[in-house]
Amino acid sequence: MFDALRTRVDRSLLFARALRSAVSFELIRPAQIAEFVRSASRVPRGPHVALLFHAAAHPEREALIEYGAAGVRRMTWGELGAITNRLANALAARGVGGGSRVALMLPNGAEYLIAQHALAMLGATAVQIGYRLKAGEIAHILGNAEPGATLVHAEYLAAMTDARSQARQSGPMIVVGDPAGDGAASWDRALAAASPASPPRSRGGEGGGVIVYTSGTTGKSKGAHRNLKTTGLESVADMVLQVGIRSDDRHLVVCPMYHSMAPAFVGMLLALGATVVLMNHFEPAGALDIIARERVTCSLMVPTMLVRLAALPDDVIAAHDTSSLRWVMSGAAPLPTETARRFMARFGPVLWNFYGSTETGMVTIAGPGDHTSRPGTIGRALYGNQIRLLDDAGHEVATGEVGELYVRNSMLITGYHRNTEATRASQRDGLFSVGDLARCDADRYYYLESRKHDMVISGGVNIYPREIEDILMTHPAILDAAVVGVPDPEWGESLHAFVVVRDGCALSDAEVIELCRAHLADFKRPRRISFVTELPRNPTGKVLKRELRERAQQA
């Protein structure tokens, strides 16, 4: 009992410190407080309540800036609150309420944020669908999630219509842009006909939620379900404190909103009252232009984006004032030490790195100094995370040894939607694993070694491809690299390296092999080298090693 009380007190103090460091408090008129209380009492508990607060407290302040094909769109907190209410009312009129599931297939844009908040207000669950998916892949998600309604951009309407037919799904559909057939409603007309007042009180269900379908690098994607009402935010508060995230930040969004990572950071920044700057499609020089133009202070990027930014010509970087940047967070894929060094050499010591997953939320964090003092680290555990590194028998490994990384925290998903077998296979004693292998040093800093299915066993010895990839990345002519294992009649598996050479540079097999010979044991050296123009990656930057293994076996 005493331990539980102490935990509650510690958690409360953590949140108080985070708020004090991040938010500049100001006087709010009684009428504004009354408006917030009235609207908040009508919706389920969750991060979206912060939108109601900022819309009531400072409706004239800038909340959202979108850089898209049609130009620049700006929206205040008051406007964002009103349009979110309109969409919530439009959806409620179409039968969406507590416990409903609604498919979202939208590009990065204001509509995505509006839809996520509107659904949360109704106690509904957002089923997030990547806009790069084909009809068959979409149909798999629709068949698993069975959404009762759909929000889709006109650009993807044909694929969605095909997928709905394959999955035998129906229900109302709202289209951003001009709808074409299938009885779909226009976003603009649906919102114009709806009230900007607070939506009806949520009934039924367990509060708002989200189902994010895993990237599927090893097979069919699984729907990771998170309940927003029960998700804890201790690790978020710890990150706010460590990084120095503030309410006056201007956050550039370049990662896809249909993944779990970008919405998590957008939600965190919006909750504090910061301004979000949306970029529809990432392009390195364009991102620098937005950073300079909007005085962007922070951003979340995948390592591939960091590589492309650091590879820009000196004159392009010099032409953009990026001095406003206070922090850039890397995530979603392993961050090579050389990538971190090259980025900070161009943009300063602003780079942080966090480890987490769709299933576990935020787990560890590494600061700018950690990348050089502890190469390859993903940092130390954020508050509220219990981490265990286990062997195949479920026993905890010794310090410095590699084990499968299991996590317990308040951000864990409730499970994979309608897939109890996959949920059960990912858990052990209440802890969750996504199949990552890691080690921990004596100071409790963690280091990712590999994905469990990416580990290579050659001659009976375990080999972790990331160690070899990090060595390859130290060569000044190498822009990107990945290593996979392929069947070998003598050794069981042998190593095949795929290398992307920088523009204007030349590199031979012999030079790559010599680099490995100088830094790696014999059994860790790739037996074959393939030079490619780029590595296949999913939208969040993870290398699709399944595709590389297929290419290597064909070669």
Q: Give me the pLDDT at residue 396, please.
A: 96
Q: Give me the pLDDT at residue 519, please.
A: 87
Q: Which of 426, 454, 482 is the C-terminal boundary of a domain?
A: 454
Does residue 259 form part of some domain? yes
Provide the pairing of β-strand 446-451 with 456-458.
unpaired
Does residue 104 form part of some domain? no
Domain CATH code at residue 470: 3.30.300.30
- Do both 491 and 424 map to the same domain? no
CA 330 to chain centroid, in Å, comes to 10
- Do both 388 and 414 map to the same domain? yes
- Do both 462 and 448 map to the same domain? no
- In three-state form (DSSP H/G/I as H, E/B as E, the rest C), the secondary structure along 335-386 is CCHHHHHHHHHHHCCCEEEEEEECCCEEEEEECCCHHHHCCCEEEEECCCCE
- Do both 378 and 424 map to the same domain? yes
Rounded distance between C-alpha atoms, residue 542 and residue 537, angstroms? 5
Q: Give me the pLDDT at residue 217, please.
A: 45
Give the residue numbers spanning the domain of 478: 455-554
- Do both 354 and 365 map to the same domain? yes
- Do both 488 and 515 map to the same domain? yes
- Do both 500 and 427 map to the same domain? no
* pTM (two decimals): 0.87
Name the residue among 173, 237, 226 with its Cα closest to residue 23. 237
Q: Give me the pLDDT at residue 388, please.
A: 97
Does residue 57 form part of some domain? no
Does residue 223 form part of some domain? no
Does residue 142 form part of some domain? no
Q: Which of 454, 485, 517 is the C-terminal boundary of a domain?
A: 454
- Do both 343 and 468 map to the same domain? no
- Do both 490 and 378 map to the same domain? no
- Do both 259 and 361 map to the same domain? yes
DSSP string covering 225-239? EEETTT---HHHHHH
Does residue 197 form part of some domain? no
Q: Give me the pLDDT at residue 218, please.
A: 47
Token pair recorded at residue 47: 């991060």
β-bridge mates for residue 101, sequence order: 125
Which pLDDT tens digits describe the chain residue by residue (555 residues)? Answer: 566 677 788 888 887 888 788 776 666 777 777 777 777 777 777 777 888 889 888 999 999 999 988 889 999 999 999 999 999 999 999 999 999 999 999 999 999 999 999 999 999 999 999 988 888 889 999 999 999 999 999 999 999 999 999 999 889 999 998 765 567 899 999 999 999 998 888 777 777 899 999 865 445 789 999 988 888 889 999 999 999 999 999 999 999 999 889 999 999 999 999 999 999 989 999 999 999 999 999 999 988 899 899 999 999 999 999 999 999 999 988 888 999 999 999 999 999 999 999 999 999 999 999 988 999 899 999 999 999 999 989 999 999 999 999 999 999 999 999 999 999 999 999 999 999 999 999 999 999 988 888 888 887 677 888 889 989 999 999 999 999 998 887 778 889 999 999 999 999 999 999 999 888 878 889 999 999 999 998 777 788 888 999 898 887
Does residue 162 form part of some domain? no
Does residue 511 form part of some domain? yes
- Do both 318 and 245 map to the same domain? yes
* DSSP 8-state symbol, 537: B
- Do both 353 and 433 map to the same domain? yes
Q: Which of 436, 454, 472 is the C-terminal boundary of a domain?
A: 454
**Helices 49-57 + 77-93 axis angle, to 10:** 130
Q: Please provide the distance, in angstroms rounded to a whole number, between the alpha carbons at the two ends of the chain.
A: 62
Residue carrying structure tokens 């009684």: 30
Count how many domains the chain has.
2
Q: Give me the pLDDT at residue 202, please.
A: 76
What are the tens digits of pLDDT across the range 283-319? 999 999 999 999 999 999 988 899 899 999 999 999 9
β-bridge mates for residue 251, sequence order: 276, 298
Domain CATH code at residue 261: 3.40.50.12780
